[in-house]
Amino acid sequence: MFFLTACSKETNSIIIDPVEKNLTIFITNDIHGSIDNFAKVKYLVDEEKKKTNVLLTNAGDIFSGNPIVDNYPEKGFPIIDLMNRVGYDISVIGNHEFDYGETNLKDRMQQANFKWVCANVETSASVIPQPSAFTNITIDDIKVSFLGLVETDGKENDIIPSTHPWRVKNLTFQNPEDVVNQYKDLKAEENADLYIALTHIGHSKQYSLGDFQLATQFPYFDLIIGGHSNGKIDTVVNKIPVFQAGNNLDYIGKIELTIEDKKVININYQLINLNTVTEEDSDIKKRINDYNDAPFFKEVIGSAQVNHNKDQVGNFAADALRLQMKVDVAFQNNGGVRSILDDGDITKKEIYQILPFNNPMIVYEMTVAEIKNFLIGSGAGFYYAGVIFENNNNRIIVKDLNGNTIPDNTTLTVGVNDYVPAVYDLFFPTPKNINPETDAETVIDYLKHTSSEINYSASNNFFRY
């Protein structure tokens, strides 16, 4: 509604008071396949739509973390299906969207009813459709411009997201900071009421740009909605509000905005714990139950004597891989272990939650000297089994399980999932054998063939140079 406030006889001009516009933006990020709370999201969004204008956004990483989603015949489809049904408007592409490979991502993107944005990826050599760098969404005369960015911290000697390098081999990425300036005037050019950076770069990064640096170095946005660091962020940096809503769909953020003359004049943020919400949409709940009713994942394959934290699970995984593959040494990368293990029965689902990335196993023949070079050069931390690593005044000592030092020229068989040599390719020779089984499948087979209860509560085999 416009209000006539003044009229000049000399110019016959009128002055129109700016109109206040109200908008609620719901935000999620780093869902990682967690589907159980989507019925609550649907209820909250629908209730808010009865009162005001609503947008529903996601800041990346919808895949990887739930076997029901990751191992569905159409990998990732349950998440796309539920996001469509709940009514998402937009998502930035996160690093874990690439985990299933290019063809799977292409199929999931084409099935989505919501928009995808990412300004720092180029897909012309891939089957993946080129996402828009930015997109506009207009709701009740409120025009919102979204710019998408994904992190590029996946490999020290390359510019890729934190995913399996072999699964983005046909894609070209730029660091976020190298593209943002191209869109500094986007709000004016698009005549938008609101300009939002929808990012998956983390709130503060060591290598590529993070949300806090984005706000400081590129202050073009009205607000930043982020993901990747899995945090609960509600702060202001350089006068720009920055938000992030946890992970695994445990939370949803609710941003209530009042906009006047293309400026945010009032903002209120609420982080809602979805695990305390009792109301649900019944149709979505039924759909979730149908997905969860998967007998394959309920099969009991072993037993744990005690609760295991993430580090203890990493030790168990490394040892299981070593024993099942019959190698001298096995490594399990720290970032590949994604869950704890409770005492009692162990199901297939739990192992797929622990090792969700479906990385095939590879066997190498490496000298002790080559193994040392790998540990030094990678700079990363690994769980390991089969030997003892010691750091003696910055010299790596390798011993057998009896405590005897192993000479540098000794050749050992080394088992590792293929993500590790893909990232640290400079340190690995030609493989001796590529195992058709993934890391999770290998651990499952080990559990099926052992009668011992799992207990790694006293294990602490982790090495970082």
- pLDDT for the residue 15: 67
- pLDDT for the residue 1: 33
The whole-model pTM stands at: 0.91
Structure tokens at 280: 């649900």
- Rounded CA-CA distance 79/220 in Å is 32
Structure tokens at 241: 């509000």
- pLDDT for the residue 278: 98
Give the DSSP H or E segment for 91: strand 90-92
Structure tokens at 144: 């919102």
β-strand 134-139 against 121-122: which pairing, if any? unpaired
- pLDDT for the residue 9: 41
Q: Where are the domains of the chain?
A: 13-292, 298-464
- pLDDT for the residue 203: 94
Q: In CATH, what number does 13-292 get?
A: 3.60.21.10
- pLDDT for the residue 18: 80
- pLDDT for the residue 379: 92
- pLDDT for the residue 3: 35
- Rounded CA-CA distance 419/63 in Å is 17
- Rounded CA-CA distance 368/389 in Å is 11
- pLDDT for the residue 266: 98
Structure tokens at 381: 């931390």
- Rounded CA-CA distance 436/291 in Å is 27
Where are the alpha helices (H) located in 267-359, listed in sequence order? 282-292, 295-298, 310-325, 348-354
The low-confidence residues of the chain, meaning pLDDT below 70, are 1-16, 206-207
Q: In CATH, what number does 298-464 get?
A: 3.90.780.10
Is residue 108 helix, strand or coil? helix
Give 284: exposed, middle or buried? Use CB within 10 Å, 0-12, 13-18, 19+: buried
Structure tokens at 256: 């209530």
**CB-CB contact of 183 with 134 (8 Å):** yes
- pLDDT for the residue 115: 99
- pLDDT for the residue 157: 85
Could you give the angle at the alpha carbon of 186 between the alpha carbons of 180 and 191, nearest 5°? 165
